[in-house]
């Protein structure tokens, strides 16, 4: 199963061009959902106005070279490792899910656009990347959803309480999990059995929910967060600090209470 491109087998019943159009429609849904979200929340407008305001209090003008160096550092240090989440379980779960999703999506695009024709032979690295990516996404996403999300971790809500904010993580887990089960059942060659078709339908529906739900879900954070991390680093480098006061030049004293329990509130 792990060495088989599931889309080549699917091509026996569904023409590859259908699959390719499906991926293109999903990409259009992401762009449309994100643009609608930006218009509705006015967050990008606020972001640029705030950056312009902060620039007025900049203590130095950064050269293009300095800007490139600050941005590269932000990409490597803050974005690629999601350092905002600090050290610990929250960051580990996020990295597992984030890189799993990236592998799963790249694997899907390559296998659908380059190797879905029945006559083509897929290099085994791509199905491996696809399956490993899906497993990582299910593990990272489930770890977050069952144990680490604020409702459960900080507010003692039961894990099965589902709200709108869970749309993104649940659709993400569902699409990877149904994809894995579909691939497994398809590899069993069940012929006239319906099992793999049911999971193919679930795989399609969960992708429609994931990519069609961008406007209502937290999907677009994967574009906003990197932008905010770059702006924060630029504001630190030019001394404007986003108009925030400088860090106090004094030892950190929070009293003994701080040691009583691990901080859990967000
Ligand atoms: C493919 C890219 C990404 C995926 C699949 C992804 C996935 C997720 C998921 C599933 C959640 C949990 C959402 C929820 O609260 O229900 C989340 C939260 C979060 N993500 Fe991402 N993410 C991605 C990229 C990024 C990037 C690039 C950053 C930062 C630079 C980032 C920072 C965060 C933060 C700060 C949270 C809140 C975590 C928490 O509440 O503990 N994410 N992400």
CA gap 194, 264 in Å, rounded:
46
Asked whether 222 lines ligand 1 (CB < 6 A), one says yes
Q: Identify which of 157, 222, 226 to mutate to test ligand 1's pocket (most ligand atoms within 8 A of the CB).
A: 222
The burial of 192, by beta-carbon neighbours within 10 Å (0-12 exposed, 13-18 middle, 19 or more buried), is given as exposed
Nearest CA to ligand 1 atom 12: 169
Per-residue pLDDT of the chain (266 residues; tens, 9 = 90+): 889 999 999 999 999 999 999 999 999 999 999 999 999 999 999 988 888 888 888 888 899 999 999 999 999 999 999 999 988 899 999 999 999 999 999 999 999 999 999 889 999 999 999 999 999 999 999 999 999 998 888 888 898 999 999 999 999 999 999 999 999 999 998 777 888 999 999 999 999 999 999 999 999 999 999 999 999 999 999 988 877 888 888 888 888 887 787 777 66
pTM of the model: 0.91
- In short, whether 180's Cβ falls inside 6 Å of ligand 1 is no
Q: Specify burial of residue 133 (Cβ count, 10 A radius: 0-12, 13-18, 19+).
A: buried
Q: Is 97 in the pocket of ligand 1 (CB under 6 A)?
A: yes
Give the orientation angle of helix 221-237 with respect to helix 64-73, to 10 degrees: 130
């Amino acid at each position: 199963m792990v060495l088989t491109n599931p889309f080549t087998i699917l091509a026996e019943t569904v023409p590859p061009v259908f699959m390719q159009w499906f991926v293109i429609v999903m990409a259009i849904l992401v762009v449309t959902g994100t643009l609608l979200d930006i218009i509705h929340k006015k967050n990008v407008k606020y972001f640029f106005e705030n950056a312009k305001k902060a620039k007025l209090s900049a203590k130095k003008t950064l050269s293009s070279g300095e800007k490139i160096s600050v941005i590269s550092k932000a990409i490597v240090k803050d974005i690629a490792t999601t350092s905002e989440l600090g050290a610990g379980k929250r960051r580990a779960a996020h990295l597992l899910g984030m890189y799993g999703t990236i592998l799963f999506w790249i694997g899907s695009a390559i296998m659908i656009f380059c190797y879905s024709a029945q006559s083509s032979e897929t290099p085994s690295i791509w199905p491996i990347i696809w399956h490993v990516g899906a497993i990582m996404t299910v593990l990272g996403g489930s770890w977050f959803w069952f144990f680490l999300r604020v409702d459960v971790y900080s507010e003692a809500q039961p894990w099965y309480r589902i709200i709108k904010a869970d749309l993104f993580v649940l659709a993400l887990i569902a699409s990877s999990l149904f994809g894995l089960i579909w691939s497994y059942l398809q590899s069993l060659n069940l012929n006239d059995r319906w099992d793999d078709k049911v999971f193919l339908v679930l795989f399609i529906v969960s992708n429609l929910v994931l990519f069609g739900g961008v406007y209502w879900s937290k999907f677009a954070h994967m574009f906003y967060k990197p932008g905010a991390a770059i702006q924060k680093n630029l504001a630190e480098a030019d001394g404007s600090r986003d108009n925030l006061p400088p860090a106090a030049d004094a030892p950190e004293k929070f009293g003994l209470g701080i040691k009583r329990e691990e901080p859990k509130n967000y």
